[in-house]
Each structure stands twice: as C-alpha cells, then as structure tokens.
Amino acid sequence: MYENFENLKGKVLREVAVEDYEIRFVTVDGEVYRMFHHQDCCESVYVESVVGDVEDLIGEPILVAEEVTSYENPEGFESEYQESFTWTFYKLATRKGYVDIRWYGESNGYYSEGVSFEKDGEEDYV
C-alpha cells in the first residue's frame, strides 16, 4: 500500500537500512516502510547519495519528512539514457541531525523514474 512520505513525520525509528535500490525504515512500534523503484527496461532508478548520518534518525521523533522532485540534469552529470531525468530528494530530520537522500532516475522517456514509498507491514519484535 503506497504511502505519503510525510507520514514518517512524528514517528520514531529504530532502524534505517540503505541499499542501492531500496531503503527500509522500521519504527519502534514495528511498522516497516520501504522506499524503492520497480525497475523496468530502458530505465534506471537508484539511490545516488545519502548526505548526513542515518544514525541521527534513530530513537528520536522525525521532525521533517519532505519530498522534493527536479527534472533537470546537473551540468556534467553523465547518464546512460540521456533522454529523461528525475531527481527525487527526501529530507529527514530529528533533533540529532538532518539526512538528505537523493534518488536519481533516468529513462528513454517512456518509463517511470519515480520512487515508491509504501508501508510494508509490521515486524515482530526480536
């Protein structure tokens, strides 16, 4: 079930797992959220960078959970498809610090470059 990224605001995280093509957020209540893209032909969407320490998001309420999108490719940035670009920035903050997650999507113009955010159920306490 797709969620609005801003729904993380006010939640307290106990885990953040960052991979090239997926980021997983687990709350202290056991809710699991994941950020990802369903890859298809002639397109590529991936986590381009994470600025800040994701450990700053653990154990404190999320004060900022914001998504910003840009469709312009920065000068000098090389890509495989060169036809269509989507930069999606996710800004998160707690009292301990800020984290900016930057996703980059490119395609031949016929495929989605968007990032999905969904609640992926609940995790049992271990």
Percent of the chain past pLDDT 90, that is, above it, reads 57
pLDDT, position 22:
94
User: So where are the chain's domains?
Assistant: 5-121
- Whether pLDDT at 114 is above 90: no
The pLDDT tens digits for 50-96 are 999 999 999 999 999 999 988 776 666 666 556 778 889 999 999 99
pLDDT, position 74:
63
Q: Alpha-carbon distance 28 to 12, whole Å?
A: 6
Residue 46 main-chain phi, psi, to 5 deg: -155, 165
- Whether pLDDT at 120 is above 90: no
* Residue 60 DSSP code: S
Give 32: exposed, middle or buried? Use CB within 10 Å, 0-12, 13-18, 19+: middle
What predicted TM-score, i.e. pTM, was given to this entire model?
Answer: 0.84
Q: Do 106 and 113 touch, CB atoms closer than 8 A?
A: yes
- Among positive and negative, which fits the CA dihedral 56, 60, 64, 65? positive
pLDDT, position 126:
41
Q: Alpha-carbon distance 42 to 39, whole Å?
A: 9
